[in-house]
Amino acid sequence: MNRFNNKNLTFWGASPIIFIITILYTIPIIIINHYLKPVFEMNFIPHKILLSVTIILLCIGVPLYITTLRVLKTAYTKQELISTGIFSICRNPLFAVVIFLILPGIILFFNSWLLLTIPCFMFFVFKIFINKEEYLMEKKFGQEYVIYKNNTSIIFPKIWKYKK
């Protein structure tokens, strides 16, 4: 018997547990970084470059997150599987945007390589807990989801596979 049989697929899926565990990791990391900041500074990268990269990552990440959230909300309301647009290149674009764009963008502003472990940790937690969501998606959408899953990356966007 599968341990997920009695669970329903919610709009947020695995997000709450992934974010809670990531926050529990982030709190001590921020405290350590605060008290030992000089040890973790990335002095080998000029501040202007860090700031420029921060702005670029956030200018790309925030609109992508908002757009993806809107598309996801519409599909959830209609109970449809999305396999076009950003979902054609990545099955979990919200996590991809947070892990690869938004978190690093915010963290680079604070100039700390220790804080850069936060998106790495979140990726690790994502890989552990996304299985539940994947199982529920497969249960809900059947073979259509299996085909989508087999042809689409879980989190690393494959831009060359984009479909409108």
Tens of pLDDT, residue by residue over 6-62, are 467 777 788 899 999 999 999 999 999 999 999 999 999 999 999 999 999 999 999
**Which pair of tokens denotes residue 79?**
């109970």
Number of CB atoms found within 10 A of residue 90's CB: 23
Does residue 163 surpass a pLDDT of 90? no
3-state secondary structure of 13: coil
Nearest to 160 by CA among 59, 96, 90: 90
Does residue 1 surpass a pLDDT of 60? no
Position 157 scores a pLDDT of 85
Position 7 scores a pLDDT of 60
Among residues of the chain, what percentage have pLDDT more than 90? Answer: 79
Does residue 2 surpass a pLDDT of 70? no
Type of residue found at 69: L
Whether the CB-CB separation of 164 and 85 falls below 8 Å is answered with: yes
Q: For residue range 63-86, what is the model confidence (pLDDT) as tens digits?
A: 999 999 999 999 989 999 999 999
Q: For residue 26, what is the enclosing H or E element?
A: helix 15-35
Does residue 138 surpass a pLDDT of 50? yes
Position 5 scores a pLDDT of 43
Dmax of the chain from CA atoms? 55
Nearest to 117 by CA among 53, 26, 20: 26
Position 96 scores a pLDDT of 96
Position 81 scores a pLDDT of 92
For residues 138-151, b (16+ Cβ closer than 10 Å) or e, as one string?
A: beebeeebeebbee
| Whole-number average pLDDT of the chain | 91
Among residues of the chain, what percentage have pLDDT more than 70? Answer: 96
**Rounded distance, CA 158 to CA 160, Å?**
6
In this prediction the pTM is: 0.87
Beta pairing partners, 163: 85
